[in-house]
Chain A
């Protein structure tokens, strides 16, 4: 613990008391913020992990189907079909704010229209691949939301924890120490002044006694 170099005066005492009060208030607020953020974070971790696993599994299936399709029809044919696809996906965003951190909300919407290729030209595998990739896309919206929120949130939690600690472990103890020192010094000088006054009074009385 360190004490700040400050002249032990009444003015400084008042200033320090004010600062200390402010720091304590700030600490309380930050501590609350930290707790809220961590609760939010915990829920989000589970959601993100879940979404991640789902995407990996689904994407594996999708690639499987795609491989089969490529095997049976050739890459060129698949690319042609891809050109002929007429699905439109649209993402819309909104925002949720948790303690000053902006977290995205993602909605994925599909606009299905009939494809530009004849069913006879394609195989069942391509239908399967399309279906799987669509599912993946839907999941990706959720995953994107969870992951990005998680990154932003965890960074904010880290920052908040550092601030809370700085206040709790350094700023407040140091100021406390300084406050005590100034209070002691002031009391000491007060006692000294009191003592001197008594002395003077005593002498004056004695002098009066002598002249009487």
Chain B
């Protein structure tokens, strides 16, 4: 199975250097379309998406991560670095569990 990149132009270019396919998107609508297209393909195993774009379509991403086994979606920081003060992994777990660990 393959990786697929949905990100800004810079990031897509970077991952293209290591042979990954990807689509550069600029708007939430574009991201949604690209995501839908990526879901259709049975060859794609992991979707790499930048934090900023993921934030703009957060609901879709959440729904998908909990509802489906494949493909996996991972968020990476883009050129400008990680999105400021996004919920940390620990906080995410706390919220999902409902108690503090």
The answer to the question of B37 belonging to the interface, with a C-beta cut-off of 8 Å to chain A, is no
Asked whether A158 lies within 8 Å of B97 as measured between CB atoms, the reply is yes
Q: How far is the CA of A87 from the CA of B17 in the complex (A)?
A: 8
Asked whether B74 lies within 8 Å of A85 as measured between CB atoms, the reply is no
The answer to the question of A133 belonging to the interface, with a C-beta cut-off of 8 Å to chain B, is yes
Asked whether A89 lies within 8 Å of B3 as measured between CB atoms, the reply is yes
The answer to the question of A13 belonging to the interface, with a C-beta cut-off of 8 Å to chain B, is no
Asked whether A102 lies within 8 Å of B45 as measured between CB atoms, the reply is no
Contact code string A64-97 (vs B, CB < 8 Å = 1, else 0): 0011001000010011011101111111110000
Q: Which of B70-98 contact A (CB under 8 A)?
A: 70, 72, 74, 76-77, 79, 81-82, 88-90, 92-93, 96-98
In the complex, what residues of A have CB within 8 A of residue B17's CB? 66, 78, 81-82, 85, 126, 129-130, 133
B15, B46, B70, B76: residue with the most chain A Cβ atoms closer than 10 Å: B46
Q: How far is the CA of A52 from the CA of B76 in the complex (A)?
A: 9
Q: How far is the CA of A144 from the CA of B4 in the complex (A)?
A: 13
Size of the chain B interface, CB-CB below 8 angstroms: 37
In the complex, what residues of A have CB within 8 A of residue B89's CB? 45, 48-49, 52, 147, 150
In the complex, what residues of B have CB within 8 A of residue A186's CB? none
In the complex, what residues of A have CB within 8 A of residue B79's CB? 63, 67
Partner of B45 from the list A93, A137, A143 (CB cut-off 8 Å) is A93
Q: Which residue of B lies closest to A75 (CB)?
A: B13
Asked whether B46 lies within 8 Å of A141 as measured between CB atoms, the reply is yes
Asked whether B10 lies within 8 Å of A56 as measured between CB atoms, the reply is no
Q: How far is the CA of A148 from the CA of B99 in the complex (A)?
A: 19
In the complex, what residues of B have CB within 8 A of residue A134's CB? 18
Q: How far is the CA of A36 from the CA of B1 in the complex (A)?
A: 32
The answer to the question of B20 belonging to the interface, with a C-beta cut-off of 8 Å to chain A, is yes
Q: Which residue of A lies closest to B93 (CB)?
A: A154
Closest chain-A Cβ to B98's Cβ sits at a distance in Å of: 5
8 contacts between A and B (CB under 8 A): A63-B10, A89-B3, A93-B45, A137-B18, A147-B89, A148-B65, A151-B65, A158-B98
Given A56-B77, A147-B74, A157-B97, 6 additional A-B pairs, CB 8 A: A56-B82, A60-B81, A62-B14, A75-B13, A133-B14, A134-B18
- 3 pairs of A and B residues whose beta carbons are closest in the complex: A82-B16, A154-B96, A87-B19
